[in-house]
Amino acid sequence: MKKVLDRCEVVCINHEAVNRVREKMLDEEVIRSIADIFKALGDPNRVKIIRYLAQEELCVCDLAQLLGMSLSAVSHQLRALRSRRLVKFRRQGKIVYYSLDDAHIVDLFNQCLDHVTHD
């Protein structure tokens, strides 16, 4: 039985295409930032938080109730999202309310949701 390779057996076949793509490459810092966002969204609890906050602003204790987690565990997850500028907060007295940082986060989430639920 002959082994079928899943890669090219030549170095480069279309130099023009390679050059066109290379001209549009992103800066390494931008690539790392994008990868870091996807890494943050690799945690199911953080995905849930994004989903909840896409619906409305919520305080930490309400997020803890929805997630079935302790306040400190939710705060830890929120810090990870906040450090990547995915969520923001405002304080009202003793209560801290969280919301998504901007509409791009909703768009990103909805694009992923469409991708995984599309038949």
Number of domains in the chain: 1
Here the tokens at position 112 are 């992923």
* pLDDT, tens only, 67-119: 999 999 999 999 999 999 999 999 999 999 999 999 999 999 999 999 999 87
Structure tokens at 18: 């390679």
> Which segments of the chain are extended strands (E)?
58-59, 87-92, 95-100
pLDDT for res 93: 95
* Beta-carbon contacts of residue 43 (< 8 Å; ≥ 6 apart): 77, 80
CATH number of 24's domain = 1.10.10.10
Inside any domain, residue 6? no
| DSSP three-state, residue 87 | strand
Sequence letter at residue 62:
D
Mean pLDDT across the chain, nearest whole number?
A: 92
Share of the chain above pLDDT 70, in %: 98
Cα 60-61-67 angle, rounded to 5 deg = 90
Positive or negative, the CA dihedral 99, 101, 102, 108 is: negative
pLDDT of res. 12: 76
- With 70 as the cut, is the pLDDT of residue 1 above it? no
**d(Cα 7, Cα 9) in Å, to the nearest integer?**
7
In terms of pLDDT, which residue wins out, 17 or 63? 63
1 in any annotated domain? no
